[in-house]
Amino acid sequence: MARAASYAVWQDDKQQLAERLKQEGLSWDLVSSYMRGWLSFQYFFTGLRMIEFGMDARARLVKIKLWLEGLRKRGWEGAFDASAGLNL
């Protein structure tokens, strides 16, 4: 959700910069504003993607741990139930 919000902010920034381009014409200030906005978007979007990847990896490890614990305690059926969060 946060990545979608950062993308929406970037789209709004681009729209505002396009309006400035129509009104003021091309200038170094406009180009630098565009670059700052784009770099800011890339920074946050990529950072959020990395955080999401880390959270997914951690969840996968927890699920594997539960599966192995269920396998040890109750066999195949217990492994799949435990990894699904059933019969803990």
Exposed e or buried b for every residue in 62-78, given b needs 16+ CB within 10 A?
eeeebbeebbeeeeeeb
- Reduced to 3 states (helix: H, G, I; strand: E, B; else coil), residue 87 is coil
Three-state DSSP class for residue 23: helix
pLDDT band at 85 (very low <50, low <70, confident <90, very high): confident
Q: What is the pLDDT of residues 21-75, one digit of tens each?
A: 999 999 999 999 999 999 999 999 999 999 999 999 999 999 999 999 999 998 9
The reply to whether 71 falls in a domain is: yes
Position 88 pLDDT exceeds 70:
no
Residue 64 lies in a domain: yes
Residue whose pair of structure tokens reads 């594997």 in the numeric block: 64
User: Domain range holding 56?
Assistant: 2-83
- Exposed, middle or buried: residue 82 (CB in 10 Å: 0-12, 13-18, 19+)? buried
Count: domains in the chain = 1
- Determine if the pTM surpasses 0.95: no
